[in-house]
Structure formats: structure tokens, C-alpha cells
Amino acid sequence: MPARWRVRIVVAVALYAVLEVVFTKVDFDPDALRLALVVAVGIALFGVVQDALGDSGPGWDVERVSTPLAEGLDRPTARYVGLLESHLTSRTPDGVLADRLRTLADTVLRQRHGLGVADPAARDLLGPELGRVLDEPPRRLSRDEIDRCMTRIEGL
């Protein structure tokens, strides 16, 4: 027998006892069998309604699952690692990595040289390989190409 029905039986017995005492105090002489039946039917109906409406099933609340970061990585670094892994394993190359490289190169050029990626003077600083990666349509870059581009950006 489920625990919820055991609780309901205990409540029914307690309710019967309370009603018996109250009715006896007010000089209302109830029939014990009928009172027991009324209490039993009332508790059974309450139980059926509670079972039918109590559990609303799966909710619409979504729990956020935070993936643990690899040891030694902060969130921005972990995002960049995820971006690189996505680029290397995707079926079709997208322009996300090239856009990130462009933004990074533009930021470094502006901070250190006061130039943007689109400036003609910046082309000599970027070099031919990084310039091609930034200008050409998106393509899958190899690990070595990514490493050379990052090294070039760091050296700006």
C-alpha cells in the first residue's frame, strides 16, 4: 500500500474520532457506521482528486546545466576553445572563426598602431597569410594555420 494511502487512512480515523467526539458533545447521536462511511467516502474523494490534480506532470521549467570548465581555463578561454573545436569538427566551415580573428587583429592593431584591419598600412603588418584568411570566403583552417595566424596577431 502506498504511503499516501496510509496517511489518508490515519487522517480518516482521526477525522472520524474528532467528529464522533464533537457530535457527542453537541448531543447529536450519529450512527457510527454511517459516519464512518461518510468519512471514508470524503477521504476517498479527496484522495482521488488529489491524485488526479496533484501531480501536474513535467513542468516547463528548464534547469540550466553548467558544464564544468577544463582545469585552468577561465570562461572566455573556454569559449574560444569551444569555438576552435567547433570550427575543426564542423562539416561545413562558417565564418565565425574568421570573424573572431578579424576582431582580434583589429583590436590589437588599434591598440598598438592606431590602425584598423581595413587600413592599407595594416596589410604589411598582417602579413600575406593572415590577410588571406581575413579576406577570403570562409574555409576550414588547419590547426597549423590557426596557430600561425594567432602568432602573427600576438606579434603585431
Structure pTM? 0.52
Over its length of 156 residues, how does the chain's per-residue pLDDT go in tens digits? 678 888 889 999 999 999 998 988 888 888 889 989 999 999 989 888 888 887 666 667 777 766 666 666 677 877 878 888 888 888 887 888 888 888 989 998 899 888 888 888 888 888 889 888 888 888 888 889 988 988 888 888
DSSP letters of the chain?
--HHHHHHHHHHHHHHHHHHHHHHHTT----HHHHHHHHHHHHHHHHHHHHHHH---S-S-----PPPPPTT--HHHHHHHHHHHHHHH-SS--SHHHHHHHHHHHHHHHHHHS--TTSHHHHHHH-HHHHHHHHSPP-PPPHHHHHHHHHHHHT-
